[in-house]
Amino acid sequence: MKNLRKRVGRFLLMFAMLFAGILLPQNTKAVWAADGSMTVHFLDVGQGLSVLVESEGQTLLYDGGPRSASSFVVSYLQERQISEIDYLISSHYDEDHVSGLIGCLNAFDVANVIGADYVHDSSLYDSFMDGVAAQGLTVQHPVVGTEYEFGSGKFTILSPQNISKESNANSVAIRLTNGENSFIFTGDADYNSEADMVSSGIDLSCDVLSVGHHGSATSTSWDFLQATVPEYAVISCGAGNMYGHPHEETMEKLSDMGIQVYRTDEQGTIVVSSDGNSLSWNMDPCNDYTSGDGKSPAGESETQGFAGEQYDDQGESNDTDSIEADSAQNSQEEMVWISATGSKYHSIPDCGNMNPDKAYQEPLSQAEAQGYEACKKCF
């Protein structure tokens, strides 16, 4: 009965909008036109993941965080006057992703539920399925490549291509687009799942990547980063978590590629808005590439540039003798590529482990003197 009322209500709304579009003058039809806006909220749920997306009156919730954050997620949606969730997506059924979704199933009307097609041996999985059934729904298991219209944009299913015995590997990943802007959410998808996504042939480029598995070393492979080439990475993890998330290996990759970083463990809930052309954030990136156990990428804290040189107002060096000496030496010395924010030197500017748009060349000896180390991929 509840679903019937929702369908009738949607029909009446569509009829009213069509009627208004027919009767209103041509220059007022823009009132009903899509404004192209989409807002993505990376909720601070501690050691877990929950992403809320709003666009033109529609709502998508990707994961709900752990049990401890369930009431927070429900309250956050209620404060935004959300009463219905159009798409509720469970990446997989681990506690730190699915628990908050159970609370949302109890608190809101839900139109569609999407999840991975496997059975998780836990009482939380049973509670989630009971909540879906109470809504008169079943969990949809779309195949890779399935597209859904959402607000002013759409989202595409990227994984899982196959069902594994490992829960994380079964994560439902999506690519969300709004005009020229794009986002990728991967849950806890591992290297193997990322490899399947890369080989699928689906466009994986994105502006914003929600880093897999809270920044664990089991996710965010070089090949996946090279395929996605995000400008921004958002890491959802808890401050001082017992797993050491995000891991040093992951942060080193992000640093090497010059990807700007946001972190919920340091910055709380992070919100980004898209108008279809550009992104607007509620805060600046923290760009803290330190791992959860306090380790930093090698050379990150080293001072870049020539030490002890004096520069004029145009930025040119006034040390003529040093310039001539360096020039003679550099003409016979191997040159390497450096990323603006990385800690490695590279043999080429586009090896996939750095942002080629921010790369510059300098002599190998100079790079080593500044603390840079050789990129493991291109050297």
Tokens of 103: 């609370």
pLDDT of residue 118: 97
Q: Check residue 332 and give its pLDDT.
A: 53
Residue 297 main-chain phi, psi, to 5 deg: -55, 140
pTM value?
0.73
CA distance 142 to 273: 27
User: 3-state class of 335 per DSSP?
Assistant: strand
Longest distance between any two alpha carbons in the chain, whole Å: 86
Following DSSP, what letter does each residue of 122-162 receive, concatenated?
A: SHHHHHHHHHHHHTT---B-PPTT-EEEETTEEEEEEE-SS
Q: What is the total residue count of the chain?
A: 379
241 Cα distance to chain centroid = 20
Nearest CA to 177 out of 196, 198, 205 is that of 205
What was the pLDDT predicted at 304? 31
Q: How far apart are CA 350 and CA 374, in angstroms?
A: 14
One digit per residue, the tens of pLDDT, for the chain of length 379 reads: 444 444 445 444 444 444 444 333 333 222 223 458 999 999 999 999 999 999 999 999 999 999 999 999 999 999 999 999 999 999 999 999 999 999 999 999 999 999 999 999 999 999 999 999 999 999 999 999 999 999 999 999 999 999 999 999 999 999 999 999 999 999 999 999 999 999 999 999 999 999 999 999 999 999 999 999 999 999 999 999 999 999 999 999 999 999 999 999 999 999 999 999 999 999 999 999 999 988 777 545 433 332 333 333 333 334 434 434 444 444 456 777 777 556 777 777 766 666 665 666 777 776 776 677 787 667 6
First and final C-alpha spacing in the chain: 64
Rounded CA gap, 291 and 123, in Å?
33
How many CB atoms within 10 Å of residue 207?
20
